[in-house]
Structure 1
């Protein structure tokens, strides 16, 4: 049996879709951390079947927009004195900016380098986003991270 100690003060990123934990780990650059970090992959979950979990023994400033974009099912637990102080349920953000780039070669963002890459959510069920400039629609954009 695998044993990971509880977090005394820090953050637990829970209910990550199985296989996405490493994507979040890399995005947050936790490999450079000077504090304890645990990445648990393929843990058994009643709700999801399998899930990933990241435990961080430190309080970080997290961009919930990006994490919700990567996986809207994520739950963030803020831990103080080994107890859940605050629980945050994420969702797909209505708008994302400069997280990914539009791949349409005719988009103005392909020519002009100082224009922010902005996408708006058009379908929450499929996770489809539309480029604000060229109207190109992308589904499953988190694969571009």
Structure 2
């Protein structure tokens, strides 16, 4: 398989195999008017299999989404065909409208206009809790 290199844009690498489409949707990449390559199950010496997303445009990434999904993801910024920056997203302290509270008694279940806000309460175990009801976010809440 041959995927062209990008001239100016972003490469999101070391995505856990199978999470590429989820990230594509959460970042709302379908709204972009540029070339985007989603490579699934590419071989990786580091993690076995991985997904890769190549975006042939320079735009503002939602690092909170990427940090929440997996702070081990690698983000490469490409300018004039050269990588100018390589970094990992950080685990965000707060998430707003990235995940939803599943507690039926939470105010966010009743009031539709209220933002779903979660705060990081345990960095080591990556635990987030709703700021309104303290319910623990689960991985399937994305």
TM-score (ref. length: structure 2): 0.89
| SS in structure 2 of the partner of residue 24 of structure 1 | helix
Which residue pairs with 2:9 in the alignment? Answer: 10
Does the CA contact (< 8 Å) of 1:10 and 1:59 recur in 2? yes
Output aligned runs, 1:78-117, within 5 Å.
78-117=77-116
Gaps of 5+ in 2: none
Runs (4 or more) in structure 1 with deviation over 6 Å come to: none
Whole-Å Cα distance in 1 between the matches of residues 38 and 86 of structure 2? 19
Q: Superposed, which structure 2 residues align to 1:1-145 within 5 Å?
A: 2-140=1-139, 143-145=140-142
Shift of 1:133: 1.2
CA–CA distance in 1 between the matches of 2:108 and 2:32? 33
Residue 76 of structure 2 contacts residue 87 of structure 2 at CA under 8 Å; is this kept in 1? yes
Measure, in 2, the Cα distance between the counterparts of 1:27 and 1:129: 18
1:42-65 CA-to-partner distances (Å, cap 9, x unmatched) read 111122111110011111111111
Out of 109-118 and 77-86, give the one that drifted further.
109-118
Whole-angstrom CA distance in 2 between matches of 1:46 and 1:21: 18
TM-score (norm 1): 0.88
How many residue pairs align between the two structures? Answer: 142
User: How many Å apart are 1:32 and its aligned residue?
Assistant: 4.4
Provide the secondary structure at the position in 1 that maps to 2:65. helix
- Counterpart secondary structure, 2:50: strand
C-alpha contact 1:96 1:120 (8 A) present in aligned 2? yes
